[in-house]
Structure 1
Amino acid sequence: MTEHLPDTSTDAPDRAVHDRWVAVADQVAEQLRTDVVARDRAGAAPHAEVELLRDAGLLPLLVPARTGGHGGSWLTALEVVTRVARVDTSIGHVLGYHYLHSWRTRLGRRPEAIERLAAGTAGNNWLWGGAGNPRDAGLELTRTEGGYLVRGKKFFATGAEVSDRVIATGTDVGTGDKWGFALPTRTEGVVHGQDWDSLGQRMSASGSIAFEDAFLSEDDILGPGEQTDPGAPAYPTLSALGFQVLLGVLAVATAEGALRFGAEYTRTKSRAWTTSGVAEAADDPLVRVKYGELESQVRAARALTDRAGAAWVAAASRGWELTHAERGEVSVELSAVKVVTTQAALAATSGVFELTGARATKTGTGLDRFWRDVRTLTLHDPVAHKAIEVGDHLLGGAYPEPSGYS
């Protein structure tokens, strides 16, 4: 059996470490808040924002202390992502995926490569991206001296353009073996399309990445590429569920950000309607009821997302001893999260316009970005199919088959 290296990210949060990095995340969020509307309109790749994250020290949060990192827990990382995403969902997305991609190296079977990459992340403040869109054709690996040449293209690769390392999977064209690997992003032959042009998540650098005979050193191979393989042990297939955790966190955080933004706007800028019988918009009973309903839905979505996130972390703590049934329970929980967070986040980010008034639709206000971000995020995989997975489990006890999405 593969050696299971200690993974402090799955431990209970150390309160001092947790409080320290959440406070740092709040400071970063306040800096992002100052020009988030202008940056969203520009839609450029977030090079400066990544430097902000790097300078703040947030990138090595999950790296174990023994290899030079902060030794933080996943629960702390999820809270850090939440604090950032409430203000700037795109940067929360890049940061959350960085945590997941850097952690995914630990699902490989080569301890020496895992530890070396962890130390590199801590020592160099690397940002991680990924090239693993399951719906694109797989990458091809051709044997060459000292490693492989990588060929292929992934059309959506959030954060890869601004990353230092990119994690991916490819198939040896000679043997059919599938390998996971971690490649330096600036390797010759790695080409970023710079073609991300979306309704929302405009600063998430989610465009394409191509590999044109990029050299992959044998040392950077993590082990069998089994993270989306239904026949693999349960532990490496937690990778796909990690994405679902983060998408739920991002959707809820964006909805929370929209309601906080809207409430402040209502208190300070909205005008009471002429027939409301009140002098201030915030005193209108109809406004108060609607805010209360939306806030209640989002709180419920937050509670379910937090519970599912904790279940995913607990599953990860089992390591290679994790069973498929244990993994299946987490998968169903996260499918339910997708259903609930999609409904609640879309309702909140759309409904808040009714409570702020026509003037809040001005481009410079920036209220629209919350809905655009949620609408984009919640289309990553169809919510109706997540509802089917929950229903199938209720009706017959079936678990979703492990894949790139479940």
Structure 2
Amino acid sequence: MGVATAPSGPAPESDRSGPGRAHWLRVGRETADDLATDAVTREQAGKAPFDEVARLREAGLLTLLIPAELGGGGADWPTAYAVVREIAAADGAIGQLLGCHYFLSSSARFFAGPALAAQVERQSAAEQWCWGGGFAHQELPLTLVRKAGGYVLDGRQSYATGILVADHLAVRAELADTGEPLAVVVHSARHGVRIDGDVDTFGQRLAAGGSVEFDAVPVASHDVLGSLSADEDVLSPLAALTSPVGRLLSVQVLLGIAEGVLAEAREYSRVGHSPWHPAWPDGSPQDPQVLTVYGELTVLTRSASALADQAREAVHGGLARGEDLTYDEYAEISVLVAMAEAAASRAAQESTSRALDIIGSRSASSRLGFDRFWRNARTHTLYEPAAHRLRDVGDYFLNGAHPPFVLPVRP
């Protein structure tokens, strides 16, 4: 069935030799600078981001996380997080698209056996696949029916990131006879797959989101990666770590948006005028209100960033523990990521909203495009409400309850 009781886990650092962290951070910055040059016009055009994906592919960023011996960039998760944040600062939607790609393209490591995981990643690297889809629980689940030699997939997923440009889709489906949720990989061009760009969100419009329908789509046994069950008898602590790994990508997207809007507002303030004192240029030490707002937003964003750094180190340490990771350790990591999610959500919403106040009425100009930051942040946080994570943190603090195994809607 393709379900493995012992996930392959992350490749050891010694097996992931590649160009190195400094190289990928430089590539990430260069790609972000490239995306920033036409971010406003691309966002307003709202076209499916085939060109943007081509830029990511040309830079080598699509295969960044795949081990070097399998043909990839050989980078680790901390590096991937940094790259996603850099891209999101320039273009929040493309940051989300890339984060989703990293999450889904690496899923075989957590849910499949080592041989199958290596096979999937080797082919993904060789053919430069872009991944889309998602494993979040759906109200009307996709169904997987056993057939001779494999399965048949049916159903509709109402929202999935990246599917308009994806080569391969990774989705959650339930076995019709047992109800067990499984991670399934499907080629986007396979007969019976119908992708529709009918998701008309006011933000994150370039994340290539849409709905996807599966009509009697054949699925081979090796395309079923493994179980997504939250039952501790099925899901190992290492596989459960997939949840905070993916949710921390969402944190990077939000922090990138917050940092991006503050950087653009600062540049504009230095040549604009204060909305409170028209005679004073924005950013001037003569304007205490402007300085106070910038100070508050800087502290808020830096604080969220520091918490995200702690969560990143915890996730990296958990991955390094591999099969020795315990459920108690997983719970501590998951709670720390939940705290980072809540902090990043607040930082993104506050920064993208109050930056408009700093700039004043000129921020309403569509030509400047400042509204895209607010729309992107608000859309992302609507799909991933911070209230859920705060409840998990509170339950852990007060009752010692382990957070539920929740996969992100929008990595």
Range of TM-score over shorter length:
over 0.9
Matched, 1:149 2:152: yes
Over residues 41-92 of structure 1, what are the superposed CA-to-partner deviations in whole Å (9 max), with x where a residue is unaligned?
1222211111111111111111111211111011111111111100101101
Give, in whole Å, the separation in 2 of the partners of 1:343 and 1:9: 35
Matched, 1:280 2:281: yes
Partner SS for 2:296: helix
Unaligned runs of 5+ in 1: none
Return the letter of the residue paired with 2:282.
Answer: A
Matched, 1:74 2:60: no
Following superposition, the deviation at residue 6 of structure 1 comes to 6.7
**Match of residue 236 from structure 1:** 239
Return the letter of the residue paired with 1:143.
Answer: R
Pick closer, same or farther for the CA change 1:4–1:340 going to 2, 3 Å.
closer
**Match of residue 87 from structure 1:** 90
* Residues 252-291 of structure 1: pairs in structure 2 closer than 5 A: 252-268=255-271, 270-272=272-274, 275=277, 279-283=280-284, 284-291=287-294
Give, in whole Å, the separation in 1 of the partners of 2:116 and 2:329: 28
Pick closer, same or farther for the CA change 1:230–1:43 going to 2, 3 Å.
farther
Return the letter of the residue paired with 1:271.
Answer: H
Partner SS for 2:96: helix
Partner SS for 1:148: strand
- The structure 1 segments of at least 4 consecutive aligned residues displaced by more than 6 Å after TM superposition are 9-15
Unaligned runs of 5+ in 2: none
Matched, 1:46 2:49: yes
Which of 376, 393, 400 in structure 1 is aligned with 2:379?
A: 376
**Match of residue 117 from structure 2:** 114
**Match of residue 400 from structure 1:** 403
**Match of residue 310 from structure 1:** 313
Partner SS for 2:48: coil
Following superposition, the deviation at residue 279 of structure 1 comes to 4.0
Give, in whole Å, the separation in 1 of the partners of 2:8 and 2:16: 19
- Kept in 1, the 8 Å contact 2:108–2:225? The answer is yes
Give, in whole Å, the separation in 2 of the partners of 1:318 and 1:169: 27
**Match of residue 296 from structure 2:** 293
Partner SS for 1:149: strand
- Kept in 2, the 8 Å contact 1:160–1:205? The answer is yes
- Kept in 2, the 8 Å contact 1:163–1:185? The answer is yes
Following superposition, the deviation at residue 308 of structure 1 comes to 0.8
Following superposition, the deviation at residue 298 of structure 1 comes to 0.3
Q: Percent identity?
A: 33
Give, in whole Å, the separation in 1 of the partners of 2:130 and 2:294: 38
Give, in whole Å, the separation in 1 of the partners of 2:182 and 2:335: 28
Following superposition, the deviation at residue 209 of structure 1 comes to 1.2
* Residues 180-219 of structure 1: pairs in structure 2 closer than 5 A: 180-219=183-222
Matched, 1:333 2:328: no
Q: What TM-score results when the alignment is normalised by the length of structure 1? A: 0.93
Give, in whole Å, the separation in 2 of the partners of 1:140 and 1:52: 35
Which of 94, 99, 102 in structure 2 is aligned with 1:96?
A: 99
- Kept in 1, the 8 Å contact 2:132–2:166? The answer is yes
Matched, 1:30 2:33: yes
- Kept in 2, the 8 Å contact 1:10–1:316? The answer is no
Give, in whole Å, the separation in 1 of the partners of 2:307 and 2:380: 18
Over residues 102-132 of structure 1, what are the superposed CA-to-partner deviations in whole Å (9 max), with x where a residue is unaligned?
1111112332221111101111111111232
Following superposition, the deviation at residue 326 of structure 1 comes to 0.7
Q: What TM-score results when the alignment is normalised by the length of structure 2? A: 0.91
Pick closer, same or farther for the CA change 1:177–1:259 going to 2, 3 Å.
closer
Over residues 234-286 of structure 1, what are the superposed CA-to-partner deviations in whole Å (9 max), with x where a residue is unaligned?
22122222232111111111000000000000002x2246757x642221222
- Kept in 1, the 8 Å contact 2:18–2:68? The answer is no
Pick closer, same or farther for the CA change 1:350–1:275 going to 2, 3 Å.
closer
Give, in whole Å, the separation in 1 of the partners of 2:282 and 2:241: 47
Over residues 297-319 of structure 1, what are the superposed CA-to-partner deviations in whole Å (9 max), with x where a residue is unaligned?
10111111121122122212222
Partner SS for 2:160: coil
Which of 385, 388, 408 in structure 2 is aligned with 1:385?
A: 388
Give, in whole Å, the separation in 1 of the partners of 2:383 and 2:212: 18
- Kept in 1, the 8 Å contact 2:135–2:183? The answer is no
Give, in whole Å, the separation in 2 of the partners of 1:285 and 1:104: 49
Return the letter of the residue paired with 2:356.
Answer: F
- Kept in 1, the 8 Å contact 2:9–2:110? The answer is no
Aligned residues: 403
C-alpha RMSD over aligned residues: 2.3
Give, in whole Å, the separation in 2 of the partners of 1:286 and 1:168: 48
